Amino acid sequence: MHAKVEPQPGPARILRPEEIPAVQPEVLEPAEREALRARIKRLLEEQDAVLVAHYYTDPELQRLADETGGHVSDSLDMARFGHEHPASTLVVCGVRFMGETAKILNPEKRVLMPDLGAECSLDLACPAEAFAAFCDRHPDRTVVVYANTSAAVKARADWMVTSGSALDVVRHLKARGERILWAPDRHLGRWVREQTGADMLLWDGACVVHESFQAEALARLRAEHPQAKVLVHPESPAEVVAQADYVGSTSGIIEAARRMDAEVFIVATEPGIFHKMREAAPGKTFIEAPTGGRGATCTSCERCPWMAMNGLRRLAQVLETGANEVHVDPAVAERALVPIRRLLDFARARRQEIYGNNDA
């Protein structure tokens, strides 16, 4: 009998430390903040625009989105909201792949972003040409990509998934006897492989925020708070996931905080999510899971440096000037729509509430 051979991970592009920007949250005096808020509210009306923000953005932006009839959610639900909303301009506060997905699903609308340089380490770790070559070497595998990829990578995929839908899609493919090529997050891919037993060849990318959570420090924190429940996003390392009382997407984590019978939670995901967790579960206590801290090997722990590029000043500026419009090559968009639509159709067929149950 032969020992089972573990599939080898695919070749990720390793980010150089200088490619990971320092976290620079916007600092505003109260008077400037109020003036910007008023200006943005006026511009949204004048421009027939609506704000769509991710859970990881600054709470100030999330509040403004809620106050102006916009939406705060995960990436696919952001795109769904933008598609259904009558506004002709969508202002996506998040990272680039979210703006691209919004544009692909809403090609007739103008999509603006506060900063087009807001990237994602998963997207950056998976360049389209290298990924296409990897796919070409494994033509027998079904290509499944996470939402956190460029339009060009999605255009090479058979399926797009989110963290809230990955298990169902992979189980479905496994039942059809399909072998999977997965990209780009190795931790999420490993977790999905463990949960489903599917044959998955993994790309070797990682999220710089979630990968920084530390298992030993988490164990010590749990010992200090024995009553706390641990909520973990599956982009985190296996040793961190192993300590979780709940593993799931951003929307799932918020729902778990509301639903679970506990008063204290240790949370391993980007702390921007605490704003919505406090709204969903007022009175409960949320503690950030420990990370490696800032140092030579960790330039952006705790906060996503690219999400932090979204701020009120830049938002007001793009609304005033029309700068930072998101464009996707129409041929690429047409092909990238295939795996996105496949996920939406799959969810609909299963009567699954996919919107609001997925993540970036």
For position 120 contacting ligand SF4 by CB under 6 A, the verdict is yes
Binding ligand SF4 by CB under 6 A: which of 212, 306, 312, 319? Answer: 306
**Can residue 240 be called a binding residue for ligand SF4 (CB under 6 A)?**
no
Q: Torsion angle, CA of 297/306/157/129, rounded to 10 degrees?
A: -70
Q: Does 122 bind ligand SF4 (CB under 6 A)?
A: yes
The length of the chain is 360
Residue 165 CB, nearest distance to ligand SF4 (Å)?
16
Residue type for position 318: V
Beta bridge partners of 142: 180
E strand segments, 82-155:
89-93, 110-112, 142-146
Q: Pull the structure tokens for residue 254.
A: 């918020």
Residue 145 near ligand SF4 by CB under 6 A: no
Provide the CA 271 distance to its chain's centre, in angstroms: 13
Task: Determine the Cα–Cα distance for residues 118 and 140; give it in Å rounded to an integer.
Answer: 34
Determine, following the binding rule CB under 6 A, whether residue 150 of this chain makes contact with ligand SF4. no
Amino acid identity at 309: M
Convert residues 23-62 into a mask of x (bound to ligand SF4 by CB under 6 A) and - (unbound). Answer: ---------------------------------x------
List, as one string, the DSSP characters of 203-227: B-B--TTGGGB-HHHHHHHHHH-TT
95 touching ligand SF4, by CB under 6 A = yes
Q: Which is nearer to ligand SF4, 229 or 233 (CB)?
A: 233
107 closest CA partner among 258, 265, 331, 359: 331
Task: In angstroms, give the least distance from the CB of 235 to ligand SF4.
Answer: 6
CA distance 128 to 145: 12
Burial grade of 28 (CB within 10 A; 0-12, 13-18, 19 or more) = middle
Q: Sign (positive/negative) of CA torsion 135, 162, 205, 115?
A: positive
Q: Does 131 bind ligand SF4 (CB under 6 A)?
A: no
Number of shown-chain residues binding ligand SF4 (CB under 6 A):
14
In whole angstroms, the minimum distance from the beta carbon of 152 to ligand SF4 comes to 17
Q: Which is nearer to ligand SF4, 196 or 249 (CB)?
A: 249
Scanning 76-84, 172-180, 195-203, 204-212 for contacts with ligand SF4 by CB under 6 A, the matching segment is 204-212
Segment contacting ligand SF4 by CB under 6 A, of 101-109, 202-210, 240-248, 339-347: 202-210
Is residue 251 within the footprint of ligand SF4 (CB under 6 A)?
Answer: no
| Residue (56 or 203) nearer to ligand SF4, CB | 56
C-alpha distances (whole Å) from 50 to each of 86, 88, 184, 251 are: 9, 8, 30, 21
Binding of ligand SF4 by 148 (CB under 6 A): yes
The yes or no reply on residue 78 touching ligand SF4 (CB under 6 A) is no
Positions 262 through 291 that interact with ligand SF4 (CB under 6 A)? 270
Note whether 208 binds ligand SF4 by CB under 6 A. yes
Report whether the peptide linkage leading into residue 184 is cis, meaning its omega lies within 30 degrees of zero: yes
- Least CB distance from residue 272 to ligand SF4, whole Å? 9
- Contacts with ligand SF4, residue ranges (CB under 6 A): 56, 95, 120-122, 148, 207-209, 270, 304, 306-307, 360
